[in-house]
């Protein structure tokens, strides 16, 4: 997977689950093929197998658990996620946060099975703490801006600068309220290696048009 990266979290929106998840994944694949940029998608565990069969862009599980085969009812097995064709996993999103102990174990487990890790942090300080667990990328997302109308790029550009300074230019994604190419351009210009977003694409009437606009910011 090359950088810079636009990673779209499908969450559990109606337009991004089940058959709709597969169709939306195809739209991402089309844009990636036409423009030659790095687009990734994070889908829920129930859609993972179907989506991975349909696209060649990097597909991420929205979560995994630090377990192996055995008596772990209800958990998401990293080995199976990898077997289904996933490239990596999203971890510690604001809507699915983990304790430091569990997060460290989960990152290690992902590494053991060969899954790329994108770990979310709600502050730069938290991102710095997570860095010691050695994830592949850290996505800094101020929770008050997630799903809002104003992006972190425009509302809190200093957060991006500080994150890049503390974490490193090739380790930081930024997110929260990212909607258009200008948001992407600002993030990249401040040193981020990509963006993480969701509703700007998943709730759009024309996801293809939104994605084409977003990738122009790269």
| Pairing mode, strands 116-121 and 88-91 | parallel
CA distance 51 to 161: 35
Report the run of H or E that residue 140 belongs to, with start and end: strand 137-140
Predicted local confidence at residue 27, as pLDDT = 98
Instruction: Read off the CATH number of the domain in which 122 is found.
Output: 3.20.20.70
Has 34 been annotated as catalytic? no
Predicted local confidence at residue 10, as pLDDT = 98
Predicted local confidence at residue 26, as pLDDT = 98
Predicted local confidence at residue 153, as pLDDT = 72
Predicted local confidence at residue 53, as pLDDT = 98
Of the candidates 50, 108, 112, 106, the residue with the CA atom closest to the CA atom of residue 76: 106
Token representation of residue 201: 């694409």
How many domains would you assign to the chain? 1
CA distance 192 to 139: 10
Predicted local confidence at residue 114, as pLDDT = 98
Asked whether the CA dihedral 182, 188, 194, 195 is positive or negative, the reply is: negative
DSSP codes joined into one string, 157-196: HHHHHHHHHHH-TTTEEEESS--SHHHHHHHHHTT-SEEE
pLDDT, one tens digit per residue, over 97-141 is 999 999 999 999 999 999 999 999 999 999 999 999 999 999 998
User: Of 93, 95, 112, 129, which one is the catalytic site residue?
Assistant: 93
Predicted local confidence at residue 127, as pLDDT = 95
Has 93 been annotated as catalytic? yes
Predicted local confidence at residue 171, as pLDDT = 95
Q: What is the mean pLDDT of each run of 10 residues along the chain (218 residues)?
A: 94 97 98 96 98 98 97 97 98 95 98 98 94 96 71 78 90 86 91 93 96 93
DSSP codes joined into one string, 43-73: E-GGGHHHHHHH--S-EEES---S--SSS-T
Predicted local confidence at residue 28, as pLDDT = 98
User: Of 75, 83, 112, 141, which one is the catalytic site residue?
Assistant: 141
The radius of gyration of the chain from alpha carbons, rounded to an integer in Å, stands at 16
Range of the domain at 88: 5-216
């Amino acid at each position: 997977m090359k950088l810079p990266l636009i990673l779209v979290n499908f969450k559990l929106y109606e337009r991004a689950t089940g058959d709709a998840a597969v169709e939306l994944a195809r739209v991402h694949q089309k844009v990636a093929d036409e423009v030659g940029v790095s687009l990734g998608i994070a889908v829920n565990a129930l859609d993972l197998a179907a989506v991975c069969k349909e696209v060649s862009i990097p597909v991420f599980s929205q979560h995994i658990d630090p377990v192996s085969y055995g008596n772990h009812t209800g958990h998401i097995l990293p080995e199976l996620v990898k077997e289904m064709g996933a490239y990596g996993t999203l971890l510690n999103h604001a809507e699915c946060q983990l304790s430091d102990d569990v997060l460290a174990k989960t990152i290690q487990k992902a590494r053991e099975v060969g899954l790329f890790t994108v770990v979310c942090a709600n502050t730069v300080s938290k991102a710095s703490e997570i860095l010691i667990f050695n994830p592949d990328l850290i996505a800094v997302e101020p929770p008050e801006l997630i799903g809002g109308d104003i992006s972190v790029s425009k509302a809190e550009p200093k957060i991006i600068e500080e994150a890049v300074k503390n974490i490193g230019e090739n380790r930081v994604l930024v997110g929260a309220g990212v909607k258009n190419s200008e948001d992407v351009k600002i993030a990249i210009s401040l040193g981020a290696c990509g963006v993480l977003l969701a509703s700007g694409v998943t709730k759009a009437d024309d996801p293809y048009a939104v994605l084409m606009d977003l990738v122009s910011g790269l």
